[in-house]
Structure 1
Amino acid sequence: MDVKIAFFYLLSAVMLFAAFRVVTARNPVHAVLFLMLTFSQAAGIWLLLKAEFLAITLVLVYLGAVMVLFLFVVMMLDIHIDNLRQGFWRHFPLALGIGGLISLEMAVVLFRGFKLGDAPATAEVMAGAAEQAVQYSNTKELGMLLYSQYLYPVEIAAVILLVAMITAIALTLRGRKDSKKIDPSKQVHVRARDRVAVLKVAPTQAHVPVETEVSQPVQGDKS
Structure 2
Amino acid sequence: MDMTTALFYVFSAVMLGAAFRVITARSPVHSALFLVLAFASAACVWMLLRAEFLAIVLVLVYVGAVMVLFLFVVMMLDINVDGLRAGFWKHFPLAGLVGVVIALEMAAVLLGGFRLSEAPATPPADLAMGNTKLLGIEIYTQYLYPMQLAAVLLLIAIIAAIALTLRPRRDTKSMNPADQVRVKAADRLRIVKMDAVVPAAPAADVPPAGETK
Normalised TM-score (structure 1)? 0.70
**Paired positions, count:** 190
The 1:40–1:179 alpha-carbon spacing in structure 2 relative to 1, beyond 3 Å, is same
- Equivalent residue number for residue 157 of structure 2: 164
User: What is the match of residue 5 of structure 1?
Assistant: 5
Supply the distance in 1 between the matched residues of 2:127 and 2:84 (Cα, whole angstroms): 56
Distance 1:25 1:140, change over 3 A: same
Q: Distance in 1 between matches of 2:165 and 2:90?
A: 33
Q: Match of 2:73, as an amino acid?
A: V
Alignment of 1:180-219 (within 5 A): 185=185, 186-188=187-189, 190-192=190-192, 213=210
Q: CA deviation at 1:78?
A: 1.4
d(CA) in 2 for partners of 1:103, 1:134:
34
**Partners of 2:99 and 2:127 in 1: CA distance:** 46
- Once the 2 structures are TM-superposed, how far is the Cα of residue 192 of structure 1 from its aligned partner? 3.6
Q: Report which of the two structures shows the higher radius of gyration computed on alpha carbons.
A: 1
User: Per-residue displacement from partner, 1:70-117 (whole Å, max 9, x unpaired)?
Assistant: 111111111111111112221122122222323343444455x2488x
The range that moved more, 178-187 or 162-171, is 178-187
Distance 1:48 1:149 in 2: 25
Superposition pairs for residues 93-112 of structure 1, below 5 Å? Answer: 93-109=93-109
In 2, distance between residues paired with 1:97 and 1:180?
47
Alignment of 1:68-107 (within 5 A): 68-107=68-107
Match of 1:147 among 136, 140, 164: 140
Residue 5 of structure 1 deviates from its aligned partner by 1.3
What is the match of residue 128 of structure 2?
Answer: 135
Listed as ranges, the gaps of 5+ residues in structure 1 are 126-132, 194-208, 215-223
Q: Per the alignment, do residues 32 and 145 of structure 1 end up closer, same or farther by CA in structure 2, a change over 3 Å counting?
A: same
1:28 aligns with 2:28: yes
1:26 CA displacement: 0.5
CA positional deviation for 1:47: 0.7
Distance 1:2 1:21 in 2: 29
Unmatched 5+ stretches in structure 2:
194-205
Q: Counterpart amino acid of 1:187?
A: R
Deviation at 1:20, TM superposition (A): 1.1
Change (3 A) 1:213 1:35: closer
Output the amino acid matched with 1:50: R
Q: Give 1 or 2: higher helix fraction.
A: 2
1:150, CA displacement in angstroms?
2.2
Query: Once the two structures are superposed, what CA deviation does each residue of 1:38-88 show, in whole Å capped at 9, x if it has no partner?
Result: 000001001101111111111111111111111111111111111111122
1:51 matched residue in structure 2 = 51
Root-mean-square deviation (CA, aligned residues, Å) is 3.5
Alignment TM-score, normalising by the size of structure 2: 0.73
CA displacement, residues 149-180 of structure 1 (integer Å, 9 cap, x when unaligned): 22233233323323432343344246886359
| Sequence identity percentage | 56
